[in-house]
Amino acid sequence: MWTNKVRRWLAVLLGESESLLSRRDPPCLICGTPGGEQALPVCRLCWAKIPWIADVRCSVCGRPEECQDCLRRERTYYTKNRSVVRYNDHMKEWLALYKYRGKESMREVIGPMLQHAYRLHRMAEAAPAVEVLSYVPLSRQRFGERGFNQAEQLARELGQRTNVPVLPLLLRTQHTGKQSFKSRSDRLRDLRGVFAAEAQGTAWIREACRRGPVRVYLIDDVYTTGSTLNECARTIREAVNVKAPVEVCGISWAR
């Protein structure tokens, strides 16, 4: 249930003014309507369409309802995931503008929104740790098609707003088809061995672990079954040393 308390908290988090209806001169980055919310470069109508996730029902994946995927998973290498919005038709259109139609200015909308998921993590009473942001890598083929890695761009947007450093920790060694069209079992099979550890980044994490716990926030655009996050977390933890005090948490824009 959406509450006034959550609305006020989001306004403060995103640097909004006291009035949620205040306008800006720049046009909305979604529809082009003049003026927008001060929290994000979008108009009032587009702002009203954002399905924020305020109530978390699954403590593992951050889903706003009961989750069968987390119950079925044999082993979870990541600690937990938190997402910003429900992946409804409006949010699919926003992401399509960004990923598939090359509108890179959408990072100015989606990037700041990730602060909501970051805050949900911080509210979970986690033990103090050195924090690092990283991201899910693209294959060379996918990067060539798209020209940018949206997860990396979003990680850097979040890093600028939280002062948490961004480190590349993973390489994608194989190209896989689009995961959104595959079943859960196909995802699990296709992703096995797809990622490798990036040497310099994991060496930094390993050294930091000698001084205390480290928490890696892995950024991605959409969390579906958690297969990608789980495989990335397994790769990072095994490269660093699973006994080291390092945990991997997911921050995804949509769930």
Is 10 a domain residue?
Answer: no
The model's pTM: 0.85
| Residue 179: other Cβ atoms inside 10 A | 15
Task: Answer yes or no: is 50 within a domain.
Answer: yes
65, part of any domain: yes
Helix (H) / strand (E) element for 73: namely none
Going from the C-alpha of 121 to that of each of 81, 117, 118, 226, 248, the distances in angstroms are 8, 6, 5, 17, 12
- CATH code where residue 241 lies: 3.40.50
Domain around 50: 40-175+187-254
Written as tens digits, the pLDDT of the chain (255 aa) is 545 555 566 666 665 444 444 444 689 999 999 877 878 999 999 999 999 998 888 889 898 887 877 877 778 899 999 999 999 999 999 999 999 999 999 999 999 999 999 999 988 767 889 999 999 999 888 888 889 999 999 999 999 999 999 999 999 998 676 655 555 556 656 777 899 999 999 999 999 999 899 999 999 999 988 989 999 999 999 999 867 789 999 999 999
**Does 117 reside within a domain?**
yes
For the purposes of burial, counting CB atoms within 10 Å of the CB of 196, is it exposed (0-12), middle (13-18) or buried (19 or more)? Answer: middle
Does residue 124 form part of some domain? yes
pLDDT for 17 equals 45
Classify residue 31: in a domain, yes or no.
Answer: no
- Residue 187 host element (H or E): helix 184-191
Q: How confident is the model at residue 178, as a pLDDT?
A: 61
Residue 171 lies in a domain: yes
Among candidate residues 27, 89, 81, 21, the one with its CA nearest the CA of residue 223:
81
Q: Is residue 60 part of a domain?
A: yes
Other CB atoms closer than 10 Å to residue 210's CB: what's the count?
A: 9
The total of structural domains in the chain comes to 1
pLDDT of res. 175: 67
